[in-house]
Structure 1
Amino acid sequence: MSDKLTHLDHQGHAHMVDVSDKEITKRTATAQAILLMQPSTLIKVIEGGLPKGDVLATARIAGIQAAKKTSDLIPLCHPLMLTKVTVDINVASDCELEVLCTCSLSGKTGVEMEALTGASVAALTLYDMCKAVDKGIVIQNVSLLEKKGGKSGNWSKANV
């Protein structure tokens, strides 16, 4: 793996990386975001007792839409034809939700940014829909958990 920053040219100017000569391979990435909230808020989320409606379904849709729009949000990201995006929201403790976003495609560049964007926006949507009852929600540990495929191969946070 190279230490060279791929989004900078020889003069240090930002540019979009040319991936036209790369091989098409199956690529998958999973990212997470953790939300800490009051236990009473989490109960309302699970039971559907919040005024804004089905918080979990809305967050899933927001995460999927965000993953699909990553290149509109993050400079120099390639627009990708994602073939699958999943957003799973799991109860991790009595005051914690875990958002997992997995993106995949067959293409010439990875989907790490799409997975991170999906997890982040799903978490932001959860915050937005819950803030009326709990303004102290904390979003933390937005991170890549694993990526598969491509020239650099597979990587897992668990192996770091």
Structure 2
Amino acid sequence: MSGLTHIGAAGEAHMVDVGDKDETHRVAVAEGHVRMKPDTLDAILAGNAKKGDVLGTARLAGIMAAKKTSDLIPLCHPLLLTKITVEIEPVRTLPGLRVVAEVRLKGQTGVEMEALTAVSLACLTVYDMAKALDKTMSIGDVRLIQKTGGKSGDFQRDERRK
């Protein structure tokens, strides 16, 4: 278990002390998708969901989720995020919506979990708002695309699935 920074020698969980780490600019980008029937996608894009603006609400949910990540994931540090964007685009070949979140800060720990949480909650919000149209929707491929900054260095996923 020596490679796991949140697990002690006896297997107990703890929050890592990042107090001695240098502050660096950190960025994380994550993505995911909501697969749905073509007519559900058309209804969302036309603004015909009974609950209202699916894309706008999902975007705001993702932003709010990134800010609340430390409240949701027990060992995440509360962070002073400097930028959060959530982009949602239609992908006819799914068919469905692709969600991409980017989170930034200057700090002592990374923002990967905040980007992943933003994508996850945005996708869940799409499902919630459109479930009356399509209960067969599925959420998938939530994953880190890239991260920069910090001691572990940069990461870039080799390929993107759409």
Structure 2 residue aligned with 1:29 = 28
Find the residue that maps to 1:86 and give its secondary structure: strand
Find the residue that maps to 2:33 and give its secondary structure: strand
Find the residue that maps to 2:62 and give its secondary structure: helix
Structure 2 residue aligned with 1:93 = 92
Structure 1 residue aligned with 2:145 = 145
Find the residue that maps to 1:8 and give its secondary structure: coil
Indicate whether 1:67 and 2:66 are aligned: yes
Letter in 1 for 2:83: K
Please show how residues 1-160 of structure 1 align to structure 2 within 5 Å.
Answer: 4-94=3-93, 95-158=95-158
Displacement of 1:140 after TM fit?
A: 0.5
Find the residue that maps to 1:71 and give its secondary structure: helix
Specify every segment of 5 or more residues in structure 1 that has no aligned partner in the other structure, as ranges. none
Cα distance per residue 1:75-112 (max 9 Å; x no partner): 11000010000000011225121000110000000000
Distance, in Å, in 1 between the alignment partners of 2:127 and 2:12 is 36
Find the residue that maps to 1:158 and give its secondary structure: coil
Find the residue that maps to 1:31 and give its secondary structure: strand
Distance, in Å, in 2 between the alignment partners of 1:105 and 1:63 is 17
Runs of 4+ in 1 over 2 A off after TM superposition: none
Distance, in Å, in 2 between the alignment partners of 1:158 and 1:111 is 20
Letter in 2 for 1:52: K
Displacement of 1:26 after TM fit?
A: 0.3
Distance, in Å, in 1 between the alignment partners of 2:134 and 2:60 is 22
Find the residue that maps to 2:27 and give its secondary structure: strand
Specify every segment of 5 or more residues in structure 2 that has no aligned partner in the other structure, as ranges. none
**What is the root-mean-square deviation in Å for CA atoms of aligned residues?**
1.3
Find the residue that maps to 1:13 and give its secondary structure: coil
Letter in 2 for 1:53: G
